[in-house]
Chain A
């Protein structure tokens, strides 16, 4: 009785106040004004200093001075209507965001610069179908190409993968499935080996294969050097992925009485498959771009050499390196074109890695989930059909 009359009153009060939708955004107009004002003031003062008052010059100096002034002025503006911690918060936000921006922009610029400089060589189709044996340094871009380097890169990386993938996977499985003091030691060694300078890997293969065993410089030696470099990278990435496989899956498998290797082969590796593929592709992307191990072990040739076992063989990074050492503008253009092709290859590998991997161990794509649902539905139908056909038999036996 007491509540009933009050209710409409409360609702009325609320309506009279007007239930305005509150804005949840943290950004206020004054923040934007302070930011823009500080930016404008900093730019004008710097321009005044550089163009009118002081003997300064250079873009970098301009930017540094403008940025310093901007920070000071922004702090000043914010401090008019905020307290100390808030001012520090705003300044830190600006600094962090601009540092992040500088990093991403600088890195993106390096890539775009190379692609842009490669624009002169890339439209020529012969760039992909010919080799450089008959093209001299003064020939225009319509003669000669990098087919030999593409072939060399593909062969070398294929051999390196054939060596590193099995051994890397076995080692990663060893680190996780046969734990113990030895495994911990090997893990430490692998971590130390990821820091192996690439030129030392090249030097090692040079010392063993070429000096000690007496082989010539060849594609095989180069792929051995690449393998030494890629192996720890692949093992480390694969180790992390295998560690992510849920322990309950393994326990379930052991509880069913499965042996250890069957558990690894049928449970652990399939669960981690996408991540393992990613680790291999990441190792490949690093290996494809390495110049210095190849520099020492592959030699250099302008001819197409499809045989990795004998004779010098050139790869894309090495070709880039040799092209840009020449003073001729056409050769430099070829160098940038080769670098652009190399980067496109790395990008392709990376996209493949993102498409295949990028998910945790055991997480399925839409299509895989769909397939699994269909499979279990088929199983259910099969069981139902069998149950139906077995019922008469059971009843008969009971009779």
Chain B
């Protein structure tokens, strides 16, 4: 018996669980880790190189880079105040148009659509997310800009007392007044960007809505809820994180959109709050517009603007992913 107990005592010592993976596995791990490192390196290089190239302009401009509205780098007056405000304004218009559409579309696909139609709709929305942005830009330039004029004019005439909808140089009493004051506006650019953003936001939201727990849905129905009652008390609270995340993701895309905006706006370099008025600006369009004719110092200034855009989208996207990760949404998928 004594021998027995001493035996178990010897066996109870914690064993070393280390297993030698062998050379091939060590190589595999090294290769995999270097693949991860590569992505990290690219990311650091993007930020690092932009900062390195932008340093010349940034050190010359100092803090006035954030407050100056003009863009004349060779004359020493340049800053991103105007383009940054323009970018944010276009993105906000885009989000304001896209988010209701995306929520409606996502709810329709996940809750209302007949099951046979559902798969088709999902493919259609995913396909739309892959449609090149230049196509949306073409649509905005050649179709939408002309069609929105009467509406823009109507809003400016009757709601012009709200500062946001005011248009300088518009004369509502003159029926023959030129309509060129309404074209190329923040609103047109915003709606075009909204159409690009809506499918992406929609597919994120649909994903989350469709994961709402079946048991809770049935519970709501069993308590006598209507379909909308069930959606409001189960699907929407469950999908809140996904809705915020999808919106932020769309906002990130909208901030960085270049070609659609470039084709539509006529650039101005002063802060322009009037969304209906011709003339808007965005950082991405500024870079696409000025890179060709820029001097070395002008290029450095453009790099600084690109760096600001990069940081802004990073912040938005980090916020989006942390909101999605913290919410209950998607808890079932893990």
Give residues in A with beta carbon < 8 Å to B: 56-61, 85-86, 88-89, 92-93, 95-104, 106-111, 113-114, 117, 167, 170-171, 173-175, 177-178, 182-183, 185-186, 188-201, 203-204, 206-208, 211-212, 228, 231-232, 235, 259-262, 264, 282, 285-286, 288-292, 295-296, 317, 320-321, 324, 332, 335-336, 339, 342-343, 346-347, 349-350, 354
B166-210 residues with Cβ-Cβ distance < 8 A to A are: 195, 198-199, 202
Q: Which residue of A lies closest to B35 (CB)?
A: A170
Q: Does A199 contact B288, Cβ atoms closer than 8 Å?
A: yes
- Beyond A200-B309, A261-B27: 4 further Cβ-contacts under 8 Å? A99-B107, A107-B198, A208-B45, A317-B259
User: With the chains together, A306 CA to B93 CA distance in Å?
Assistant: 42
0/1 interface trace, chain B 305-320, chain A, CB 8 Å (1 if under): 0100110011011100
Q: Which residue of B lies closest to A285 (CB)?
A: B130
Residues of A within 8 Å of B109, CB to CB, are 100
Q: Does A339 contact B138, Cβ atoms closer than 8 Å?
A: yes
Sampled A-B contacts (26; CB under 8 Å): A59-B147, A85-B229, A88-B226, A92-B228, A96-B107, A99-B107, A103-B104, A107-B125, A114-B135, A114-B139, A178-B29, A178-B32, A183-B36, A189-B39, A197-B257, A199-B258, A206-B291, A260-B29, A289-B135, A291-B133, A292-B284, A296-B287, A296-B288, A321-B134, A339-B135, A350-B126
Which of B35, B109, B231, B299 has the most C-beta atoms of chain A within 10 angstroms of its own C-beta? B35
Q: Does A320 contact B302, Cβ atoms closer than 8 Å?
A: no
User: With the chains together, A286 CA to B196 CA distance in Å?
Assistant: 12
Q: Which residue of B lies closest to A232 (CB)?
A: B39
Q: Which residue of A lies closest to B296 (CB)?
A: A211
Residues of A within 8 Å of B199, CB to CB, are 107
Partner of A104, one of B35, B39, B125, B154: B125
Name the segment of B18-26, B59-67, B271-279 touching the other chain.
B18-26
Say which size band chain B's interface belongs to.
35 or more
Name the segment of B5-13, B76-84, B95-103 touching the other chain.
B95-103
Residues of B within 8 Å of A349, CB to CB, are 130
Residues of A within 8 Å of B53, CB to CB, are 207, 211
Which of A110, A167, A342 has the most C-beta atoms of chain B within 10 angstroms of its own C-beta? A110
Q: Does B46 contact A103, Cβ atoms closer than 8 Å?
A: no
